[in-house]
Amino acid sequence: MAQPRKGIPEVNLSYSMLAYSAGGLAAETVRHYASIGLALEPLLQRVARTVERHRMFSSGQKVGVAVSGGADSVCLLFALRELAPHFGILLSVLHLDHGLRGDESTADAEFVRSLADQLGLAAIVERADPRMCPGNLEQAARRARLEFFRRQIAAGLADRVAVGHTRSDQAETVLFRFLRGAATAGLAGIRPVTSTGIVRPLLEVDRGEAEAFLQSRSLCWRQDSTNRSMEFARNRIRHILLPELARAWNPAIARTLAHTADWALAEETFWQGEIERHAASLFHRDGSAVLVRAGALTDLPLAAARRLVRRAIELTKGNLRGLDFAHIAEVLEIAGSPIGRGRAAVPGVRILRSFDWLRFSPAEEPAASHAGYALPLSVPSVVELPGSSAPISLELIDKPETTLWAPHVYNREMGCIDWPRISGPLELRNWRPGDKYQPMGHAGEEKIKRLFQLARIPVWERSGWPVLTDRTGIVWTRRFGPAAAVAPNSSTRTMLRIREIVKLESETPQSTSIKLG
């Protein structure tokens, strides 16, 4: 069982009791210490610089410090305790006991409680059992911690949660992701600040430096026995691969990998704005799916096209788990194919091309609610179609007395039928395979499927496509207009006008421009 190196010592709070003005640059922090005859040691200087560089805190914020009991998190707690007056922040201690190591886990929680009590800080200690969650145990434990942090922020107990990831953790993360084939976004590693309020002030501090900081103050910490287990890939990287690379290739490998993450993060920050701009103009929503023109992808520089595909997948399923280079390459190959059709499967996402469009949909997308419908009609009426945002209006009108009127014109919003030639009750239903009729202007009957192909209607738009019938057959359908047998002519006096009440113009009938979050 892991034990602290020694009992919890009395803590010297002389630095942290000094009164400092909030804000300013790290250099001002150093100058302030110098002006009162105290030297701010290098580790604290780097922590202050990291905090200010990434604007992690604002004066008056409540900061929950995530303390596991290990050296990194204890170092973080004492570093922020000494710098808190300068930044004007209020600290508390957060600890989640996963209970995975039995008595050792319980002792960690007691250690953290005692440490917080001695520092005069409020402590929030909770317990969760990730073994009750499906999937990988490490991932389940991580999700439990993030949920624990989120609850503290949502409850107003913290504005930010500081966690103790170091430059050593950053190096391990970058190498781990590189070995798994990550692109630039993955190589950006651990973010200094996240959108959920997590901050990492120790990202410019090595693990050994954190331990030396504690040793210099005769402070203790807990040792997690699982950190030595070679069962975990990260431990093998930490204890075997990185030391070998440092010995044989680059003694500063950890710093080099951390710099790679810093470089990649700056690149991704730039690209994020660019991709959001492209996505806002090129992406369309179709329920839970995302649509984009194939040509729009192939016209972009390859770097932008790859990132746009990646963004479409992320919007569709909410994450990028399981995505690799080959998946994105396959999607771009389909987009560039002259055939105009194709499909690809990414973990959690189904990608289908039809004519000019690519559609990204959840792999477990529920069956369309509008796959089959048949609605008896009265006139006049406004009919809401299942799965459509464009109701259909039917009303009787007198034929305009003007030679400029062209009854055969149909613009997706209006079509007219010679009302006296309608036979029997009307029904509005979805298109079905095998449906055919003779549209006005055609020499004979046409299968509606062929009309779809000629008009380049994507396959996913077809299942709910509205068709109007009377006793004799099809008398009208969206886009292709009235049947020749019932189309208005020079003797027509009363017409049935059919209009789709289109609320938002789009080149795909069922789609709307995407709203990016």
CATH number of the domain that 42 lies in?
3.40.50.620
Count the domains in the chain.
3
Are 426 and 397 part of one and the same domain?
A: yes
Determine if the pTM surpasses 0.75.
Answer: no
Read off the CATH number of the domain in which 294 is found.
3.30.465.60
Instruction: Using the 3D structure, point to which of 362, 391, 415 is the last residue of a domain.
Output: 362
Average of pLDDT values for 103-113?
A: 91
Q: Is residue 13 part of a domain?
A: no
356 shares its domain with 380:
no
Please tell me the predicted confidence (pLDDT) of residue 403: 42
The verdict on 433 and 499 lying in the same domain is yes
Domain termination site, one of 330, 362, 394: 362
In a shared domain, residues 467 and 354? no
pLDDT of residue 167 exceeding 80, the answer is yes
The pLDDT tens digits for 360-411 are 999 887 655 556 899 999 999 999 888 777 889 999 998 766 544 444 443 4
Query: Locate tokens 């969760």: which residue?
Result: 128
Q: Please, what sign has the CA dihedral across residues 322, 327, 331, 332?
A: positive
Q: Which two tokens stand for residue 443?
A: 């020499």
For 369-461, where are the alpha helices, taking DSSP H only?
A: 448-455
Tell me whether residue 413 is in a domain.
yes
For the segment 245-258, the average pLDDT, to the nearest whole number, is 94
Question: 3-class DSSP state for residue 398?
Answer: strand
Residues 217 and 334 in one domain: no
- Using pLDDT thresholds of 50, 70 and 90, give the confidence band for residue 20: very low
CB neighbour list of residue 18: distance below 8 Å, 6 or more residues apart: 36, 85
**Domain membership flag for residue 244:** no
Does residue 301 lie within any of the structural domains? yes
One-character DSSP codes across 68-122: -SSHHHHHHHHHHHHHHHHHT-EEEEEEEE--TTTHHHHHHHHHHHHHHHHHT--
Instruction: Tell me which H or E stretch contains 172.
Output: helix 167-179
The pLDDT of residue 337 is 93
Please indicate, yes or no, if residue 18 is contained in any of the structural domains. no
For 435-482, how does the pLDDT look when each residue is reduced to its tens digit (9 = 90+)? 999 999 999 999 999 999 999 999 998 988 999 999 999 999 999 999
Among 28-32, 135-139, 170-174, 180-184, the range scoring the smallest mean pLDDT is: 28-32
Task: Give the Cα separation of 338 and 334 in Å (integer).
Answer: 9
Q: Same domain, yes or no, for 386 and 341? A: no
Looking at residue 431, its pLDDT comes to 93
Check residue 229 and give its pLDDT: 78
In this structure, the answer to whether residues 319 and 449 fall within a common structural domain is no
Q: Are residues 408 and 317 located together in one domain of the fold?
A: no
Are residues 60 and 102 part of one domain? yes
Cβ atoms 385, 372 nearer than 8 A: no
pLDDT tens sequence across 208-244 = 999 999 999 999 999 887 777 788 888 899 999 999 9
Domain that residue 48 falls in: 26-166+197-229
Q: Which pLDDT value is given to residue 18?
A: 29
% of the chain with per-residue pLDDT over 70? 83
Both 217 and 85 in a single domain? yes
pLDDT beyond 80 at 344: yes
Q: What local confidence, expressed as pLDDT, does residue 267 receive?
A: 92
Q: Is residue 19 part of a domain?
A: no
Least confident of 17-26, 32-41, 185-194, 418-427: 17-26
**Domain end: 362, 383, 416, which one?**
362
Residue 188 in any domain: the answer is no
Q: What pLDDT is attached to residue 70? A: 94
Q: Are 35 and 47 in contact (CB under 8 A)?
A: no
Is residue 9 assigned to a domain?
Answer: no
On whether both 291 and 399 belong to a single domain, the answer is no
Confidence of residue 23 (pLDDT cuts 50, 70, 90): very low
**Which pLDDT band, with edges at 50, 70 and 90, does 181 fall under?**
confident
Both 461 and 345 in a single domain?
no
